[in-house]
Amino acid sequence: MFDTLEFFTKRPGIFDGADTAALWADPHVARQMLALHLEPGHGIASRPHAEIAEMAGWIADDLDLRGKRLTDLGCGPGLYAAHFAAAGADVTGLDLSEIALDHARRVACPVGTFRCANYLDDPLPGTDVATLIYGDVCALSPAQRGRLFAKVRGALAPGGTFVLDAFPPAQFETREEDSEVALRLMDGFWAAGDYVGLRRTYLYPEHSTALDRYLIVEPHRQRQVDTWLQYLSPEALTQALEAAGFRSEPARDAVSGQPWAGGGRPFALVAHA
């Protein structure tokens, strides 16, 4: 146990061991995440549902999705996919959580096609539009982003479009380094039975990056989950997209689709292949 705690309390190098799939490996956590997605009024796992409808609305209007193939990367329970399908898109959703995908198939968007896949590693379907929504791009390391952008560029039809949103550096300024230890940390989020949860937050100001490291100790097992978040400027994200062969429009407010006013509001980029 000493070795585990010693490792937990040592600051890692930035993006050391970054694994976006780790959070979804436990079925209990996946069910908890689904419940958060489906709660209409808060934005812990996804946007409030009214904001989802507003964002999906401007994407559908601006891109005229009628008859287009759309691939929703990290689609979760299909909340955005449902709006895209209603606008006439032929939707395919990719996600790591079968529990979320079951909801997408049965409830949110029965007309869509949903597949359990890791979009970083698994093949992407040919598509006219790709979406990566609610800051998923911020959870990736720069190397992962570059790899994903190249894959999306290769999957898009000529003239295709990639829409993604991100959290800006102004949000990083509100973060603090701290730690927490609690019985059933986060009100039972991490396991159905008793456990002790530890959280340590590390900040990397030179990279506008935060790591929330969790250690979950149950009576018969223990596990660590690292969640990275790099807060990105429109300029940095545009540069990364251009390196993969995209041409980006000016940043928009992610929810309204209007020109981005700066500050801490999430922004979206519409990038053309």
The model carries a pTM of 0.96
Q: Which residue has the tokens 């020109």?
A: 259
How far apart CA 49 and CA 7 sit, in angstroms, is 39
Mean pLDDT of 180-209: 97
Residues 6+ apart with CB under 8 A from 58: 252, 256, 257
Is 94:117 a contact under the CB 8 Å cutoff?
A: yes
What does the alpha-carbon distance between residue 260 and residue 273 come to, in Å, rounded to a whole number?
Answer: 22
Q: Answer for the pair 81, 93: CB distance below 8 angstroms, yes or no.
A: yes
- Return the closest-CA partner of residue 257 out of 124, 165, 120: 165
Q: Return the pLDDT at 53.
A: 98
Q: Looking at residues 202-226, what average pLDDT do you find? A: 96
Query: For position 25, what pLDDT does the model report?
Result: 79
If pLDDT is split at 50, 70 and 90, which confidence band does 5 have?
confident
Size (the chain), residues:
273
Of the candidate ranges 22-26, 76-80, 110-114, 221-225, the one whose mean pLDDT is the lowest:
22-26
Average pLDDT over residues 67-91: 98
Question: Over the stretch 108-164, which tens digit does the pLDDT of each residue have?
Answer: 999 999 999 999 999 999 999 999 999 999 999 999 999 999 999 999 999 999 999
Average pLDDT over residues 90-100: 96
Report the pLDDT averaged over residues 155-184. 97
Decide: residue 33, CB within 10 A, 0-12 exposed, 13-18 middle, 19+ buried: buried
pLDDT the model gives residue 112: 98
Quick one: pLDDT at residue 91?
Answer: 98
Q: Residue 20 pLDDT more than 80?
A: no
Largest CA distance in the chain: 58
User: What is the structure's pLDDT at 23?
Assistant: 79
Check: CB of residue 255 under 8 Å from CB of residue 51: yes
Whether 136 and 166 have beta carbons less than 8 Å apart is answered as: no
Set out the domains of the chain in order of their start, with CATH numbers: 2-11+171-229 (no CATH), 27-169+232-272 (3.40.50.150)
- Tell whether the model's pLDDT for residue 22 goes beyond 90: no
What percent of the chain is predicted at pLDDT more than 70? 100
By C-alpha distance, which of 6, 7, 9, 5 is closest to 200?
A: 9
| Mean per-residue pLDDT of the chain | 95
Residue 21 has pLDDT above 80, yes or no: no
